[in-house]
Structures are given as C-alpha cells and as structure tokens.
Structure 1
Amino acid sequence: MKKIVLLLTITATLFVVGCDKEDFLDQPLQGRETLDDFLSNPDNLEGFVNGLYRKVNGEKWWMVNFQRQINDMATDDNWAGNTAQPRPDIFGIAQYNVFAGSTYFNAFWEHNYIGITRVNIALDNLPESPISEDLKRRFTGEAQFLRAFFYFELVRNFGGVPIVTTYSELFDPSINDKTRATVAEVYALIEDDLEDAINGLPEKSEYAAEDLGRATKGAAQALLAKVYLFQEKWAEAQAMAKTVMDSGEYSLEPDFADIYKVGNANGVESIFGVEFVSNPNLVDVGGYLPQTNGSRGDGGWGWGSPTSDLENAFLSEGDNIRLRSTIIKHGEPVFGDPDVTEFDGKPTENKSGRTNRKYYLPKAERPANYVQGQLPGHVLYLRLADVILMHAEAAFFNGDETSAKNSLKLVRDRVGLSTNMSLTGSALRDAIWKERRLELALEQHRLYDLRRQKINGVPRIALILGPNGTFVKYNTEVSTDPFETTNLKESQDSGVLFDPSIHLLWPIPPEEIQASRGNLEQNPGY
C-alpha cells in the first residue's frame, strides 16, 4: 500500500466537500489531527460521506469503469472493438496477452483503495460526531456498504488483497509490511460490513426523493446475496435474494427498454447504481459510457463491441425484445431512437459493426456538445432481475429446482418468453446461466459469472476461451458474420491465449508489489 494514496485521498476528499471551504484548503495539512478537527463539523462530515460515492465509478473514464468494460471485452460477449486505434494495453487484456503493469489495473486497484481509505476516515470520525443518532446510523451504514463494495471489486479481480480497516493504520510504519489477506478473510470482512449495513440503512422507500441513489438496506442485502453466490454459499444466497424479492421495495420494469432509459436511474427495478447528469457548469458529473462504448460513426470511441456470438444467443431464444435493447447493428434502425433509421456502426473501424444499446444516448437526449464527462444516463450495479436470477441459481444448487424454475420464469415472462417448467438437472442449470447472459448482457457481469460458474469443477470460462474454447472455435471455424470475418485488424481467434492456471485473476499491479518491499506476492503466472 503506498502512502501517496493517503495524500491523494485527503486532497480529493477536501475538494469534494465543496468550494466554499477555500479557507480550509489554504491551510497546511497537519496530519490526522487537522482532518479530525475538520470532520467534527457536521456539514463537513455530511459532505465527506457524500463524496464517498465518487469512487464507485471513478471521476474519469479510465479510473475504474473502463477496467470493467475491458473485463467484458475479455469474454464471449464483446470484442475490444476499436480497430482504428489499436491499443496494446487494451487489446492485451481483452485477448489475454496481459501486461501486468497496465494503467487500467493500476487505476482500478488504487481508486478502490482510495475509496476504502475515505470510508475508513468516515468510520473513524462518525462515533464522536455531533449529529443525530439516526443520521449517524445511516452514514455508518452507507460507509460500510461502500467499503464492502470496494473490497468485493478487489477480491473478485485480484484475489486476496491487503485489509485496511482504520485510517490510523495508514500512519503506522508497518503499513508497508502489509501482506495479502486470504480470499476467505476478505469475504469475511465484506460479509461483516454488509450485515452491519443492513441493520443501519433505511429501505429505498424511506428515503426522500432527493436522497434516492444512496445505499439502502435492499442494496446491502442484494450485494450480500451476490457475495454468498460467489462463495457458493447456496442456501445463504437463496435466502438473502428471496428477502430482497419479498421486500416489496422493488419490481421488474414492465418494459425491458425502460431499465436504461435516460432519467430512470432510480426506477422500480434499480437497487444500486450511479446516475450521470449533463451540466456544463460542473466538471465530470456526466458519464463516459455512451462515448467509450459508442460507435466511431456516431461520435464514440468504439470500445466494447458486442459479438455475433452474443447476438446468436438472443436469436436462439427468439428474444427480440432484449436483443433490440442490447445490440445496435450497422445499417439498421436504433430501437427507441426515431432519429436514427440507419445506424452507422462504421465496420471499417469496428470489429463487429455492433454497439451496446444499453449505454447509447438517443439523439434527443444528448447535450449540444457530445463530449465526455457531460453525458446523462446511468449504470446499474444491482437490479432486481439480477437478484431474481441469483435466487434461481442458488436455489438450483441448493436442491430446490421448483423455486429455481419459478424465478427463471419471472424474468422470462417480462420479455414474453415461455419457460419449460419440466427442466431439471444440468439442462435447468444451463437455462439459468443462459438467462443471466441474455438479461444482463453488456452490464459488466459476464467475466465474473464465467469465472465462478463451474461444470464438473472446471470454470466455464475455460470451456469458452482457450485454444479449444467454444467461442474461439466458433469464430475461427464456423462464423460467417460479414463484419467480424472481414475486419481482421482484431484477431479472429481472440481468447485463444486464455490459460485457466493464470487468467482466473488479474495481476497485482507491480508498483504496489514494489512499494510493499515485496511483501505483496504476485498472482501465479504474471
């Protein structure tokens, strides 16, 4: 852990609190005593807690969320896509020719730890804060939820990581002697934080309209269900997911297309996400996804292009409702945007001529200057359909096939697809997994699902990628897709280098290992 992270955290946090604190910013930092004194002011403390959320998505396109997008590129759902700007650092991760020192790994690690540091500062200061007990309990729950979120991001990307739970530890000379906790230890901390957060947070319906988007009891429960799922604690995952489903706080959007409709970040299905706004008077309050994912023929950068393999998965189910709200294809109309009758996917500069519809901004919703950092929209990290499918999967592995099928049916009914209620065994399991792919496509879940899901003990990703992987064989031996097979500036055998003995985790950033004086051990193979 680098002590420079501490300085970055304090500096960024004080900026977030507000421009009206210039008199404080003009004073020299004098360590913890000055910070504690600053946070003893209730207004400053509230601004500090609000600022914790900024690290969920990163302030810039490359800090956190682009690594999540690259993760999707490293699956069968996405190509890297942009063939006009070959970037070895991006293509390398997407194609498993991984450079351990990638800027994106470094930024992802560092900004999650900055988020953790900010949370620890808040938790250290909240017990003695002169605010109401109700507000103290809520702020504490928000902070605990966010620390769990940050550690979950770290553990499922890098494996066991150093655990730091107090701000004081960062002043301890032994901080550089920190070693990696085990995966089990990290998950234990996450579970503890989420259990505490559940007890301290209000339900979504108990928040005032201006506070929607904050962490809620339901968000903590949903994240805990996912944490259980990742550890194959099937009974616990099933029970916790069912608690969210039965809470009455959430419901499926009647129209699938409305989930990512601009202005619907806090819709009936939303459990936890980040909303972006367009305001030229503020810096980086808008999103980047419409631009980083957008077609190069439409003002975007062309990264993360949906594959024909993903499109075929929708077609095989007759699932036009979700397909049209997930993938835009070159030369076709854009569903929900009457201003575009023939989309320019620019296949000469895009591997698949396809674009992510979920993050696409219809022409009427765009600011006059279509620039990064000023785009409206949202990204959802937890929504009800995800929880229902978690319940289905956990119920299946918990031996409760009836509940698994009932939950599967709930999600399919929304988009008018029938459910074979006689499914059982591996056929039911595969149907649940396929439903997760279709329902949550391009929402940054696929890599994590493929790594954790196993068939006879083998992670599914090892059956899909690698020299004998089904996705690699489809692209090199079967596919006749007119876009993918003609634009070979991105290799058609993407994923062939995947090695399950290495690539189930990403590498620890080498600069972190160096800063730890070698106490942090690198993941095998890097």
Structure 2
Amino acid sequence: MKLFIRTILLATGISLVSLSCDDFVDIDPYYAQDAENYFKSPDDYQRALVGAYDLMQTSYLDIWIGEIASNNSIAGGESVTDSEGLHQIDAMTHGGVNTELRSIFRFMYAGITRVNYIFENKDKLEFDGKDRILAEAHFLRAYYYFELVKFFGDVPVVLDRRLSATEVSGLPRTPKAEVYTQIQNDLIAAAEVLGWSTPVKGRITKGAALSLLGKAYLYQDKFTEAATTLDEVINDGPYALSADFATIFRASNEGSSETIFDIEYVGTEGGSYGCFVCLEGFAAVGFHGIRQYTGPIYTSGNSYNLPTQDLVDEFEPGDPRLPASVLDIEAFKTAQLPTEVLYGVGGGGHTGYFNNKYLKRLDELGAGDDDLTSPVNHKVIRYADVLLMAAEAHNRKSAPNDGLALQYLNEVRQRPSVNMPAVNVTGSALTQAIWHERRVELAGEGLHFFDLVRTGRAAAEIDGFTTNKNELFPLPQDEIDLASAGWAQNIGYNN
C-alpha cells in the first residue's frame, strides 16, 4: 500500500508538503504514473481513496497536543529539547516556529490535496460504487479541514482541485465560519450515501460522518443542531458501550460496538524517524512507553505525554476508569512484588504516571523498531464521546432537555465495569457534571484542550494560557513567509 501512496503523492505534485523522507522521491519508474492519465478504472479510484486515507495516520500529533496543551499531561521525553515544540506547547510559549504545528498544517493539506485529486477527476469514469468512494472522500476532506480549523482558525479552503505551494500561499485565509460550513456540507453529503456498516474494516460509515458533524456543530455552539444529529447516531446507529472499559483500547478489541471512528494501524515497518508520515504503526503508543522499563506486561518506550496529578485528582474515589486510563508506575511496581520492575526517568519531566490507554505492551508489539510500529488503532470517536456530546448539547441548547441529558450522562457512568453513582442535577450543575465526565471518560485521548477552549474554561485551567491568543495555535511562520496573499499571524503571536 505504501508504494502506491508514495507514487500518488509524487504524481499529484504536492509540492506544498516537504516531509523529509527519501522514500517519497526514491520511486522506481516502473510504478510512476502520470496523474493526468490516471483514473482509467474503478481500481484507480479505490487506490486514490486509500492514498487520501493515509494522512490520517499522522494522528499521533492530535493526541499529544490535545493532552499536553491542557492540564491533563506534560510533554515528557528524554529532555526539554527532545521534541522541543511539544515542550513549548506544554509551557504555552509556542510560536510560529514549531515543528509539530507545522507538521499538522502540512499533513492536513496533503490529505486535502489527495481528496481533491479524486474530486477533480470524479467525472472521468462511471461505475457501480463510485458514490461510496466520493462519500468517503467527502468525509476525509471534512476531517482534514476540521483539524485545521480547530488548530489554526481561518485557513484557505480549496475544493475539487489539487493544491500546489504557489496556489495555497496565494489564497486568502477563509473565515472560520465558512470553513465550518464546508465541513458541514461535506459531512452531510457523506452521511446521505454511507450506511451504518462497511464490509471493509476501517472505512468510514454513516455513524462516523454524523458523529463528526455533531462534533463540528458542538464546536460552534450550535447545540440544537448538534443534539439532533447526535440523537440520530444514538437512536438509529448500531453502537453500544463496551462492557469492559479496561479493554476498549487493546488491539484485540478493535471493531467493538463502541467504536464509531478509528484510524487503522498495522504492526509493520513503514517509515522511520526521518519520515513519520510514512509510518504504518501508531507512533503515540511507542513514544508513551515507560522509559528503560523491565518487568511484566509493558515494555520500554520514550515517556512522552505523561498524565498529571491534576488529572488523577479529577477522578472520583473508586472510579475504575482511573487505573484503566492512567498507570501509576510506583503503585504498579509495588503490586508486582516479588517480581522486580525497573524504569528510568527522562529529563523532559516525570509525573509518576503514564497514559494507560495508549501504552506499549509486550503482547502488542510491531515489527522492526516497535516504537514506530504499534498495531493499536487510534479511537477518534467512541460511542461514549457521542453520548456525552449529546448530553451537553441537550443541556446547553436554547430549550434544554436536561432529562435526556441526564439519561445519556448516566448511561456512560453506569456502564458495566464502571458503575459509578448516578448524577441527578440540572442546569449549570449538570453542565459541570458533563464536563467532568468528559474529562475522566476521555482522558488521554487528545480532546481535553479543545474541550476547555470551546467552553471558555482554558484560561482558568491551564497555566500560562493567555485569553484571546492561545485559543488558536499560530500559523507556521514558514507558511506565512511563503504566502503571497499576505497572511497575518494569529493574534498574540509574533513568530
């Protein structure tokens, strides 16, 4: 699959994306194909769609930044200069020169380019099943633009044609509201065609499209629209909460009833430290691993994205989701006696905790360098997330339905294997209860920073957060320098 995807990248001329990967230019001419002479068969459309899916595999950055920018975790790692951009985000000192933020900007536009390549050629051939391919492409474009708008705000929107560096930099930034309108249009188009299930594991479904649409509405405070959309997922979809919370994130539990949208990874070699976009495995898992670890169950890693005491303290006493979400390494070490457990502490910080949802385990190792080849999938939207988004939407809409909001909230709290006491409050107290539940239920999944920002709580919760600045991340300065359209930096950032 990777060979095809690299060929498509070269053939479509995505000069916008400089990914520092020799494999992207070292292609045997036998496999090279002129983009203008592509799309001669249904298989060509399918392969182009696979290429459009591929940029989702850079989602490790979404988890890291969504946690590290919040009060849920610290950057960690070997030193403060190891992935320095993450440490800057942790300290809220980040600016326009930041490797991780630049990667998000470029990766997402690379994905959009691959989607637009399909739409640019959508009329070249008619065949059964093309409507589904285009529906999945609509979802992918919405996903990539959603990532861009939630990180950077106003971004250029280009539809149905490929992007080059010159074209993108020559376009003005599209206002955030218009970007969301395009996201909504793409997701509605996807949901109209797709079914609730798919015969191909990992492909987008109607439930994924509606769930992301509901999330896009929620991020705009369109609570009535969010409630209606998410109710459709709850009432008509095939989803249910997993009975065992502790195993939701295990590779052996992929495709469970709780999974609405996940990003597929496989445990094979597919890239290197010089080309993270080439990876086939989920880098977040290996990099979350316990530094210099020896002992049972787990294996050694790089100690990134370390949960904080603040997050641990958010859990109610006796909540079984705490040990399933956060590994207390000293408590674990004691529990293994007389078996000896050893670990090291990185210079990038140490909290005593590790992200237990996405943590490298002995029975989930990939081939080659297993820091880069975890087969564990990234669960982007779970049914619990949908229930809690719907609860918030019903509670906060102009005509609140707190009864239904409570039902959804308590369904999450009282699932088998969790069994926390039911909540029975209304109004603003219910709002706070839902926000609390989102933090503990979704801990370590990369959502908390964006939840804090969209609900106006970030300044009160995040040390160093500056209001009217840190709600957005800065545009990469390199992209501003290239922009003949004269892009202004986001407010409050000088570089």
The TM-score range, normalised by the shorter chain, is 0.7 to 0.9
Amino acid at match of 1:523: N
Q: Deviations over 1:249-300 (max 9, x none)?
A: 1111011112101132321111111122223589732221221111213321
Unaligned stretches of 5+ residues in structure 2: 1-11, 272-277, 294-299
Q: How many residues align?
A: 460
- Which of 143, 152, 158 matches 2:146? 152
Partner of 2:215: 226
Q: Is the 8 A contact 1:176 1:517 kept in 2?
A: yes
State whether structure 2 residue 73 is matched by structure 1 residue 75.
no
Identity value in percent: 32
1:465-480 to 2 correspondences below 5 Å: 465=462
CA shift for structure 1 position 174 = 6.0
The residue that corresponds to 2:440 in the other structure is 438
Q: Per the alignment, do residues 101 and 408 of structure 1 end up closer, same or farther by CA in structure 2, a change over 3 Å counting?
A: same
Partner residue, 1:304: 305
1:177 equivalenced with 2:176 (yes/no): no
Change (3 A) 1:232 1:368: closer
What residue number does 1:118 align with?
114
CA RMSD between the two structures: 2.8
**Are the aligned partners of 1:74 and 1:93 in contact in 2 as well (CA < 8 Å)?**
yes
Q: Would you say the 8 A contact 1:5–1:110 is kept in 2?
A: no
Q: Say if 2:131 and 2:193, in contact at 8 Å, map to a contact too.
A: yes
Change (3 A) 1:38 1:368: closer
1:285-320 CA deviation, whole Å, 9 max, x = no partner?
Answer: 222122111121332111110011111111x3431x
| Residues in 1 aligned to 2:267 and 2:281: alpha-carbon distance in whole angstroms | 5
**Cα distance in 2 for residues equivalent to 1:194 and 1:248:** 16
For normalisation by structure 1, the TM-score amounts to 0.81
Verify: 1:426 aligned to 2:428, yes or no. Answer: yes
Q: Per the alignment, do residues 368 and 139 of structure 1 end up closer, same or farther by CA in structure 2, a change over 3 Å counting?
A: closer
1:187 is matched with 180
Matched-pair contact (CA < 8 Å) for 1:412–1:419 = yes
State the one-letter code of the partner of 2:124: E
Bigger relative contact order, structure 1 or 2, given CA contacts below 8 A and separation 6+? Answer: 2
What whole-Å deviation, never above 9, does each CA across 1:183-233 have from its counterpart, x for those lacking one?
Answer: 1100000000001001121222xx22xx12111111000000000101111
Letter in 2 for 1:297: Q
Specify the alignment match of 2:194 in structure 1.
201
Pairs within 5 Å for 1:35-434: 35-58=35-58, 64-66=59-61, 68-82=63-77, 84-87=79-82, 88-132=84-128, 135-167=129-161, 170=164, 175-204=168-197, 207-208=198-199, 211-280=200-269, 284-298=279-293, 299-314=300-315, 316-319=316-319, 321-333=320-332, 344=342, 346-347=344-345, 349=347, 350-367=349-366, 371-398=370-397, 399-414=400-415, 415-421=418-424, 423-434=425-436
- Report the 3-state secondary structure (helix = DSSP H, G, I; strand = E; otherwise coil) of the residue aligned with 1:89: helix
Equivalent residues of 2:204, 2:261 under 8 A apart: yes
**Structure 1, residues 445-494: CA drift from partner, whole Å, max 9, x if none?**
001000001xxxxx1011112xxxxxxxxxxxxxxxxxxxxxxxxxxxxx
Question: Once the 2 structures are TM-superposed, how far is the Cα of residue 85 of structure 1 from its aligned partner?
Answer: 5.0
Rounded to whole Å, the distance in 1 between the matches of 2:176 and 2:157 is 11
Q: What SS does the aligned partner of 1:39 have?
A: coil
**Matched residue SS, 1:380:** strand
* Distance in 2 of aligned mates of 1:238 and 1:339: 50
1:341 Cα deviation (Å)?
6.3
How far does residue 42 in structure 1 lie from its aligned partner after superposition? 2.3
Tell me whether 1:510 sits opposite 2:477 in the alignment. Answer: yes
TM-score by length of 2: 0.86
| Aligned amino acid, residue 186 of structure 1 | V
Q: Quote how far apart the aligned CAs of 1:334 are.
A: 8.2
SS of residue in 1 equivalent to 2:122: helix
3-state DSSP of counterpart to 2:414: helix
- Please tell me whether the aligned partners of residues 152 and 475 of structure 2 are also in contact (alpha carbons under 8 angstroms): yes
Q: Is the 8 A contact 2:267 2:367 kept in 1?
A: no
Q: Can you give the 5+ residue segments of structure 1 that lack an aligned partner in the other structure?
A: 28-33, 59-63, 454-458, 466-494
Query: Partners of 1:5 and 1:113 in 2: how far apart?
Result: 13
> What is the distance in 2 between the residues matched to 1:429 and 1:126?
45
Counterpart in the other structure of 1:478? none
**1:379-424 deviation digits (Å, cap 9, x = unpaired):** 1111100000000000001211111100001000111011132x01
Query: Is the CA contact (8 Å cut-off) linking 1:327 and 1:356 kept in structure 2?
Result: yes
Where 2:173 maps in the other structure, the secondary structure is coil
Q: Check whether the contact 1:222–1:244 (CA below 8 A) recurs between aligned residues.
A: yes
Indicate whether 1:463 and 2:452 are aligned: no
In the TM superposition, what is the alpha-carbon distance from 1:372 to its structure 2 partner?
2.7
1:355 is paired with a residue of what secondary structure? Answer: strand
Q: Which amino acid aligns with 1:44?
A: D
